[in-house]
Amino acid sequence: MRLRTRITSLAVLMLFSLLAGCASMQNNVLSLFGRDDKLDASLPIVKDVKTINDVRSVGFEWEKINDTSLIEGFVLYRVEKDGSAKKIATIRNPLATHYYDNGLLPQTKYAYQVSTLGKNGSVSPRSPIVHIKTSFIDPVESVFASDNYAKEVKIIWSPHPNPSISKYIIQRQDSKGVFLNIGVVKNRLYVEYFDKNLEDGKDYKYRVIAESFEGAKSLPGPIAVGRTKSQPPAISGLSASSDLPREIRLKWDKSPQEDVSKYKIYAANSLKDHFKVIGETKNTEYVDKVDSDGLERFYKVVPIDNANIEGELPLGAVKGSTLVPPPTPVIIKGVIQNAQAIIQWQKVNDTRVKSYAVYRYEGNFSSRPLRFANILKNEFVDKEMTNGKKYRYQVVSVDGNGLESRPSKEVELLLNR
């Protein structure tokens, strides 16, 4: 029983293959899979096919078949590049004289044929080949791009006159010269686009493509070159003081760019260090308060315009420093006479020095000393000493700004009556 089943299945398969092979013979019989049509030379032939071409579709018109008793409609074929014919549509109406094909590519060549369809499913010989080429949508006529906006470019264009346009595609050229889509504007009468987050002072190339409701795209419009606003130019005349106590005053020339509204100040303690922002100002000078004497710092100043575009950080820097302390006095005498401490030092020959000050320590140096100020001579007498107590003395010179020198070496004295 199982053997008989296998033989029967094999026979059916062989018969099926034989019929399929016969059906594949051109202009012979109807394919079991519907790939080919049975040819009937007695059916009327469509002879005159006219076309109207659009961007993505083509319309067909043919002469009416006078004797429609043998037909029930028409078959439309598209001729492929290899010469084969692909059935596009079956029009089951013997009185029809029009049809269409859509979903085509713009500016592309196609070829078509039409046959009549017999009532038994056979077809007539095909009509002469009709060659067509789809049309195109005209490009957008005018495109403009801005050249003075900060970090963005505004693109505007003329509205497309074709009412079938549904939107615009904005393209920007990349570094390899390829135009890539960057945005879409979904209205025929809305004709501007802003390309944002761009680099400063750089040119960009744009073009606009219109697209119809059917998805057909126009030819690319003219290329427009836009440019973002440039960075403010570097400032000039930057100087930094070196003669002020515990501050450094910076000055520079006003930026020649009219819309520069402020300046950003960068500083570092070494040219090898990272420059950090220490302040901003609308003026052309800045004071850096430094709690140290004789400290060197390096500075860079960058202009910023009204659009908040910051100039490029300069490669070089200007050095400034706080005022160094005045020279340190040298003690030449420290004695006890008549129950008094007498301290003398060499006079400092420096015009900066306006006076001297003496520090007296009781106990260790961590204790708070007494300061005797406004000493104009190079001598100090301490009359307020306690018997049996040690005192240590140091002298500093003081300039006109109140800046003190480093302390002299100490002198230790003991009153012992």
* Domain segments of the chain as ranges: 37-133, 143-227, 239-321, 331-414
What would the DSSP string read from start to end of 341-403? Answer: EEEEEPPP--TTEEEEEEEEEESSTTSPPEEEEEE-SSEEEE----TT-EEEEEEEEEETTSP
Q: Going by CATH, does the domain composed of 37-133 fall within 3.30.465.10?
A: no
At residue 367, the pLDDT reads 76
At residue 83, the pLDDT reads 87
Give the other-Cβ count within 10 Å of 200's Cβ: 17
pLDDT values of the chain reduced to their tens digit, one per residue, 417 residues: 333 333 333 333 333 333 333 333 333 333 322 346 799 999 999 989 999 999 999 999 999 999 999 999 999 999 998 989 999 999 999 999 999 999 999 899 999 999 999 999 999 999 999 999 999 999 999 999 999 999 999 999 999 999 999 999 999 999 999 999 999 999 999 999 999 999 999 999 999 999 999 889 999 999 999 999 999 999 999 999 999 999 999 999 999 999 999 999 999 999 999 999 999 999 999 999 998 999 999 999 999 999 999 999 999 999 999 999 999 999 999 999 999 999 999 999 999 999 999 999 987 666 789 999 999 999 999 999 988 889 999 999 999 989 999 999 999 999 887
Hey, what are 359's tokens?
A: 């520090």
Backbone angles phi, psi at 12, to 5 degrees: -60, -45
CB 70 within 8 A of CB 118: yes
Q: Which fold has domain 143-227?
A: Immunoglobulin-like (2.60.40)
pTM: 0.62
Of 217, 210, 209, 214, nearest in space to 103 by CA: 214
Q: Which fold has domain 331-414?
A: Immunoglobulin-like (2.60.40)
At residue 36, the pLDDT reads 65
At residue 281, the pLDDT reads 97
What would the DSSP string read from start to end of 262-305? Answer: EEEEEEESSTTSPPEEEEEESSSEEEEE-SSSS-EEEEEEEEEE
Same fold, 143-227 and 239-321: yes
Hey, what are 187's tokens?
A: 């209205």
What would the DSSP string read from start to end of 72-89? Answer: EEEEEEEE-TTS-EEEEE
Q: Please state the separation of Cα 67 from the chain's center in Å.
A: 70
Q: Which fold has domain 239-321?
A: Immunoglobulin-like (2.60.40)
CB 72 within 8 A of CB 92: yes
At residue 415, the pLDDT reads 87
At residue 388, the pLDDT reads 87
Q: Which amino acid is at 413?
A: L
d(CA 92, CA 121): 11
